[in-house]
Chains A and B, each alone.
Chain A
Amino acid sequence: MPSNHFYYDLIIAGFGGQGVLAIGNLIAYAAMKEGRHVTYLPTYGVEMRGGTANCTVVISSKEIGSPIIYRPHALISMNLPSLLKYGPRVLPKGLIFLNSSLIDLREVNRQDVEVFPVPVNDLAIENGNPRFANMIALGAFIEKTKLVELFTIYESLEKVFDERHHRHIPENIRAIQIGVEYTKRFTPFREEK
């Protein structure tokens, strides 16, 4: 295959209510805006109520086959059960992004992947609103992976969120920026990756 073919997939998982589906929707929407093929596959129904919520996002420069991914390039893990379920499946050299407010780093039993812990709940509380933890995770993840432009994420907010939430968009952007700043501070050598 030509080397300029772009392909990336990720699983975003956590408790129902942590906003993991919003993270997936925003990444998928932004990637689409940037001209990529995308699929977004949520789990739904019984699993949503109190249990785990997760979604799979695939981004590609070509038409996408399977929206079901067993071994993702990256995992955004917002709670411990999701790390235990999906952590072992992340591809070697892949990325495990974890919410270190809720997950002890020692729970990761992988030497062959990059682990990036961000205390998203603590950061959200410090900044005055615990409800934006998912947006902090999104900002930190995007700054880490450069999967899409931040600006495209900002533009996608009003498309992804229902109109009744539009008045909260500035707060969402602020939360994303907190995540971005966190990554900038804690990955000084990221250019050498």
Chain B
Amino acid sequence: MDQSCEKVLVRGNEAIAMGAIDAGCRLFFGYPITPQNEIPEYLSKHLPPLGGEFIQAESEIASINLLLGASATGSRAMTSSSSPGISLMQEGISYMAGSELPAVIINISRSGPGLGGISASQGDYFQATRGGGHGDYRVLVLAPSTVQEMYELTYLAFDLAEKYRNPVMILGDALLGQMKEPLIRKKPPPMDLPPKDWALTGAKGRKPNRIKSLYLQEGELTEHNWKLYKKYERMKQEEIRFEVIETEDAHLIIVAFGSMARVARSVVEMARREGVKVGLFRPITLFPYPEKPLREISRRVKHFLTVELNTGQMLEDVRLSVERDAEVYFYGKPPGALPTPEEILEQLKKYYGRSGSA
């Protein structure tokens, strides 16, 4: 594979596929859906020459269960889809969480509910961060904001999935998947990972392993759920990722993730040029949510504007994170026209006046 550090201009979707290949993913299962088709397109071409396997399954339900089977063998495997397809996969994701299987699931989300449309949306935030399927479980959710991050976070997702034996989801959207930016295809440093002694690799010479999510013995399931809970708590301790821009002297802070954080970054620049002191807080992990760092900032800054491509989902996590005397405002847009920096700046100025600093 080309590992030179030359810049290439690629779509976010292609960057994800490259990140998966560089992370050692050799098995992909998926079913076509816009706007993520460049991921399977790229992998269908590049996996077979590497000795990997690309399977276009008969449905998303088949894809996720193929993924479950592949990951039970300890192989690095992935599926990708977009919102309606991810809904179909929820049962399988719940089974993988229950069976403690590492797997990477890409959601290049589109708009809903239902078949909705193919435009960008952040309407899947709740589904991604609250579990999505049945049972008391979580998946790690990473929200890239640049093409470079689409590559790096996909790579990271494979490591984190094995570190925790848990599904990891990349939550992007149509804008990030379709946009092209320069990419430096450089592998991140390797992570120390536990041995995969749980994998189903043939039990010759050792005790058989069992992968299951069914626990019927008394007390067994209670214990299993506490074990999972501890894992999620450990994620909260060790995996929080976020970015802050110009927050030191800010009177108001925009909170936005993914594609909207891109627009928000421009808003911060424009506002600063006018002497309006605002900053940006960008969660990179949506679960675990960067509650603590956001709370710390809210001891100093009392005004927050959450900007989302939906009618208010991450807003709840921002409200739960900040100190009680902090005000949290919201500007959101349902699917359709994407908000421009000018539009958000106008909203921001309304609230900035209230921060007593205008």
Q: Which residues of A contact B (CB under 8 A)?
A: 1, 25, 28-29, 32, 37-42, 44-46, 63-71, 159-160
B263 at the A interface (CB under 8 A) = yes
The complex places the Cα of A46 from the Cα of B342 at a distance, in Å, of: 27
Q: Which residues of B contact A (CB under 8 A)?
A: 7-9, 34-35, 118, 174-175, 178-182, 262-269, 273, 338-343
Which of A29, A42, A45, A46 has the most chain B CB within a 10 Å cutoff? Answer: A45
How many cross-chain pairs have Cβ atoms below 8 Å apart between A and B? 73
The complex places the Cα of A135 from the Cα of B340 at a distance, in Å, of: 30
- Chain B's closest residue to A40 (CB) is B180
Main secondary structure of the interface of A (DSSP, over half): mixed
- With beta carbons under 8 angstroms apart, the residue of B9, B174, B273 that contacts A40 is B9
A162 to chain B, nearest CB (A): 12
The complex places the Cα of A28 from the Cα of B8 at a distance, in Å, of: 11
The complex places the Cα of A67 from the Cα of B12 at a distance, in Å, of: 13
Contacts of B341 in A (CB 8 A): 65-66, 68, 70
Contacts of A41 in B (CB 8 A): 175, 178-180
- With beta carbons under 8 angstroms apart, the residue of A1, A28, A65 that contacts B180 is A28
Contacts of B35 in A (CB 8 A): 44-45
The complex places the Cα of A37 from the Cα of B338 at a distance, in Å, of: 22
- Indicate if the CB atoms of A65 and B9 lie closer than 8 Å: no
- Indicate if the CB atoms of A70 and B342 lie closer than 8 Å: yes
- Indicate if the CB atoms of A29 and B178 lie closer than 8 Å: no
Contacts of A67 in B (CB 8 A): 175, 179, 262
- Indicate if the CB atoms of B264 and A70 lie closer than 8 Å: no
A74 to chain B, nearest CB (A): 17
Which of A65, A66, A71 has the most chain B CB within a 10 Å cutoff? Answer: A66
Which of B9, B175, B269, B339 has the most chain A CB within a 10 Å cutoff? Answer: B9
- Chain A's closest residue to B269 (CB) is A65
Contacts of B338 in A (CB 8 A): 68
- Indicate if the CB atoms of B264 and A65 lie closer than 8 Å: yes
B274 to chain A, nearest CB (A): 12
A30 to chain B, nearest CB (A): 10
Contacts of B264 in A (CB 8 A): 65
- Indicate if the CB atoms of A39 and B179 lie closer than 8 Å: yes
- Chain B's closest residue to A68 (CB) is B338
Contacts of B262 in A (CB 8 A): 64-68
- Chain A's closest residue to B245 (CB) is A65
Can you identify 18 A-B contacts, CB atoms within 8 angstroms?
A25-B9, A32-B9, A37-B182, A38-B9, A38-B182, A39-B181, A40-B9, A45-B35, A65-B265, A65-B266, A65-B341, A66-B262, A68-B263, A69-B340, A70-B340, A70-B341, A71-B342, A159-B8
The complex places the Cα of A63 from the Cα of B261 at a distance, in Å, of: 13
The complex places the Cα of A40 from the Cα of B10 at a distance, in Å, of: 9
A57 to chain B, nearest CB (A): 9
B245 to chain A, nearest CB (A): 9
B317 to chain A, nearest CB (A): 23
